[in-house]
């Protein structure tokens, strides 16, 4: 896959079919508006790959490099400060 090509919005609108073809054949195509990168056009195959679920949350934490870290998860016993809820006269 080559580096993403950048298109100005007007050019992308005028050559949309080419933008789509390049997204399919070459990879993501970046569209700018007033010099600011706004959107990326990608192929459906790339989109599906990005959206694919990669396991459960449990599996994510189980595979974490921090799983063996000794992290203190004890909660502080401090109950906070007293609050006066009386309405002043």
Can you give the pLDDT at residue 53?
80
Can you give the pLDDT at residue 38?
97
User: What is the C-alpha to C-alpha distance for residues 24 and 1, in angstroms, rounded to an integer?
Assistant: 10
The one-digit pLDDT tens for each residue of the chain (89 residues) are 457 899 999 999 999 999 999 999 999 999 999 999 999 999 999 999 999 888 888 888 888 887 788 888 788 888 888 888 889 87
Would you put residue 35 in left (φ > 0), alpha (ψ -120 to 50) or beta? Answer: left
Can you give the pLDDT at residue 8?
97
Terminal Cα distance for the chain, rounded: 74
Can you give the pLDDT at residue 2?
59
Going from the N-terminus, what domains does the chain have, and what CATH number goes with each? 5-62 (3.40.1620.10)
For the entire predicted model, the pTM comes to 0.59
Q: Give the three-state DSSP class for 61.
A: helix
């Amino acid at each position: 896959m080559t580096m993403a090509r950048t298109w100005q919005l007007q050019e992308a609108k005028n050559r949309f079919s080419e933008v789509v073809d390049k997204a399919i054949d070459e990879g993501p195509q970046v569209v700018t508006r007033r010099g600011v990168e706004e959107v990326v056009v990608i192929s459906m195959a790339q989109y599906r790959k990005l959206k694919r679920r990669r396991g459960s949350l449990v599996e994510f934490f189980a595979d974490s490099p921090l799983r063996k870290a000794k992290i203190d998860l004890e909660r502080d016993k401090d109950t906070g400060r007293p609050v006066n809820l009386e309405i002043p006269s």
